[in-house]
Chains A and B, each alone.
Chain A
Amino acid sequence: AQKITQTQPGMFVQEKEAVTLDCTYDTSDQSYGLFWYKQPSSGEMIFLIYQGSYDEQNATEGRYSLNFQKARKSANLVISASQLGDSAMYFCAMRDNTGGFKTIFGAGTRLFVKA
């Protein structure tokens, strides 16, 4: 069954430091996509980064990188040089070939960046 697990309800990080948000997933499909979204307090859902199941290189987008370990079924998000504006809720998500190609989401991790 499809499942996304985020075990960190909340995280604190000092401004300018790096932080890793954990995510594990479960699917029986060979082809799937892993995504991270950011939800600030204003409520919108902002796409950050994508990793395909067949991609051998870890994805990077600016200060965001995805640490993809396929055998362990993990897809951790690394944010480098944290900024105050990074304070938000972060969701790990997955899309596979079941359930009408819906995107399923983890419970989220709330990140607090301290000045």
Chain B
Amino acid sequence: EAQVTQNPRYLITVTGKKLTVTCSQNMNHEYMSWYRQDPGLGLRQIYYSMNVEVTDKGDVPEGYKVSRKEKRNFPLILESPSPNQTSLYFCASSLIASSTDTQYFGPGTRLTVL
């Protein structure tokens, strides 16, 4: 089944404890991105990647890192999480970087930072 997977789905952690949210897609998509969704602020892009080893900042990159060593994986790293990073996170992918290509979303990761 074609899909985007994320792990973990739920995570409660404490301030400063490094964590990684994994994202993987099995559709051979070139373009991958991370979004966070917050009440009243909607969905905002954190980072995106147009292909392997090509990543760039989105609208809210502060406090996050990403890497794209393989086409299928695009992990999101929080080196020192803070409470303001409590959010619902989505990984998404599309076949190519194109305005007319659909982004497919993973199931989401609910992160709480205490």
Contacts and interface: CB of A to CB of B under 8 A. Distances in A.
Interface string B84-114: 0000101010100111111111111010000
Contacts of B101: 33, 95
A91 B90 CA distance: 15
Contacts of B43: 91, 103, 105
A47 B107 contact: no
Interface string A71-115: 000000000000000000001000111011111011110000000
A100 B105 contact: no
B31 interface: yes
Nearest to A35: B102
Interface string A42-63: 0111110010110000000000
16 contacts: A31-B100, A33-B98, A35-B103, A45-B108, A46-B105, A47-B102, A47-B103, A50-B100, A95-B98, A96-B99, A100-B45, A101-B94, A102-B59, A103-B43, A103-B103, A107-B42
Nearest to B103: A103
Contacts of A33: 98-102
B79 interface: no
A32 B100 contact: yes
Interface of A: 29, 31-33, 35, 37, 43-47, 50, 52-53, 91, 95-97, 99-103, 105-108
Interface of B: 31, 33, 42-43, 45, 48, 50, 56, 58-59, 88, 90, 92, 94, 97-108, 110
The interface centre, meaning the residue of B100, B101, B105 with most chain A CB atoms within 10 A of its CB, is B100
A14 B93 CA distance: 35
A30 to B, nearest CB: 10
Given A35-B103, A100-B97, 7 more contacts: A35-B102, A44-B108, A50-B100, A97-B99, A102-B33, A103-B92, A105-B43
B105 A47 contact: yes
Contacts of A103: 43, 45, 92, 103
A52 B100 contact: yes
Contacts of A32: 99-100
